[in-house]
Amino acid sequence: MSGIQLLAIAFAVAMAFWTYRTYRRRDLLPVEAVLWFAIWIGLVFVSAFPDVMRSVVGPLHVARLLDLVMIVALLLLSTLVFVLNSRVRHTERRIVELVRKLALSAEEPDGNGKHPVGQVHGDAGETAE
């Protein structure tokens, strides 16, 4: 086994551990954790058994196994960027909507703009200045 294979396996194991820790802190959904574990296990498999993957490379007419790995990695990264972008846009829309609701609920009918923030946030006793 070459040095780059060992490095790739060590990286995949470290990332799998990091994924597990992130999942245990509840920063990842179960579906996301399974997806990431599948990616790291796939990297270990491709790194440890490159001869098995060569039977896949031939029919796909890809010159080398590394080329296939890079193509798959680019496809996965493109998908992740798309999903992240859509989630960021969704979050931005929700924040704008929340800010609008907070701004409109903070105004009083007499127009002085002083309204107890506790009624908006659920905290009693605080006022907007």
The answer as to whether 19 is a domain residue is yes
Its domain, for residue 79, covers 63-108
Q: How many domains does the chain have?
A: 2
**pLDDT attached to residue 8:** 92
Are 2 and 35 within one domain?
yes
* Number of residues that make up the chain: 129
Among residues of the chain, what percentage have pLDDT more than 70? Answer: 83
- Prediction pTM value: 0.65
The answer as to whether 119 is a domain residue is no
If 0-12 CB within 10 Å is exposed, 13-18 middle and 19+ buried, where does residue 19 land?
A: buried
The answer as to whether 98 is a domain residue is yes
The answer as to whether 118 is a domain residue is no
Are 1 and 44 within one domain?
yes
CB 85 within 8 A of CB 78: no
Are 42 and 68 within one domain?
no
Band of the pLDDT at 129, cuts 50, 70, 90? very low
Q: What tens digit of pLDDT does each residue of 104-115 get? A: 887 755 555 555
